Amino acid sequence: MAESVPVRCPDCRREHLYAAPSYPCVCGAPVVPPLDRLANPAPVTHRTWDEDWVTVRCGTCGREDQWPHPELGCDCGTVLRIPVRGVRRPLRAERVPGTTIEADPDPDPEPGRDTRAHTSDTSTPDTSPGTEASRNSPAPGTRRIPDHTPLPRTASAPRAAFQPVTIRTARDAVTAAALYLRWLGYRDIRRADQRPPSGIGLAARGILAQVDPTVRPASLRDVECLWLTSMTDSARCVYFSLAGYADDARTRADALGVPLFLLDLTGTPQPVNSPADELIAAGA
């Protein structure tokens, strides 16, 4: 159970009792940022990507992931950032919600480079008459048929059930979308370099996502702008909306193949069109 700490607003001096929310680790255990009772909360006057996230270690499996920094909204309108202990702030190069902390020390190999281990055995088999190798060797001009031809991979590996995060704020909606992308198999999720016309942009290798936490249904222009941006980045795209989509936006998304998801308040994205169903089936 999450610990509760007393928090006093420095502006209106109102007292609050705050308990940090828990987030699901990939091992299934709940992770709660440890609150620091000795430090004073700080008002949030402006936001930066690095300060909005904090690295927390799972007490069950020891995995370190990044989660939203605990915050409390006072009735006077002040937003307080609650101090946490024994954690460090992630750098911008480190990725956000539920992603691994350290980057891959060995990035993608160069095109054409063979990453398999090379053996020092360069000897050739003895194919003299009467030997085992000569009996198994095909006759000259005969096409050798391999013993086993692997089939192309047509389905992704089974995934565990998605662990949602309850949506109470716009920030929770972004967290839910980032966790869902990670569940689909995308790694290194970060804030998109190009800000969308509305909502928040998220990016990972091979995909660009837009999260719209407003109460306005996504418009035709929103869908088309996302699609055009993804074409520029040579990536696929996906849209998450809290209020749904206009009819012409859904029609255009179907024509462009843009997956649309509706964020319900439980934090579970619901597919709205066929491209979204296909994305769930195929994954990253």
Give the pLDDT band of residue 202 (cuts 50, 70, 90).
very high
In tens, the pLDDT along 229-248 reads 888 888 899 999 999 999 99
pLDDT at 140: 52
pTM of the model: 0.51
In tens, the pLDDT along 67-88 reads 788 888 888 888 888 888 766 5
The secondary structure of the chain as a DSSP string is ---EEEEE-TTT--EEEEEPPPEE-TTS-EE-PPB-SSSPPEE--S--TTTTEEEEE-TTT--EEEEEPPEEE-TTS-EEEPPBSS-BPPPTTS--SS--SSPPSS-SPPTT---SPPPS-------STTSHHHHHSPPTTPPPPPS--PPPP-SPPP-PPP------SHHHHHHHHHHHHHHHT--S-EE-SSPPSSSEEEEETTEEEEEE-SSSPBPHHHHHHHHHHHHHTT-EEEEEESS-B-HHHHHHHHHHT--EEEE-TTS-EEE-SHHHHHHHHH--
Give the pLDDT band of residue 158 (cuts 50, 70, 90).
low
In tens, the pLDDT along 17-62 reads 888 887 777 777 888 888 887 888 888 877 666 677 788 888 888 8
Q: Domains (ranges, CATH) in the chain?
A: 14-102 (no CATH), 162-284 (3.40.1350.10)
pLDDT at 93: 42
16: pLDDT strictly greater than 50: yes
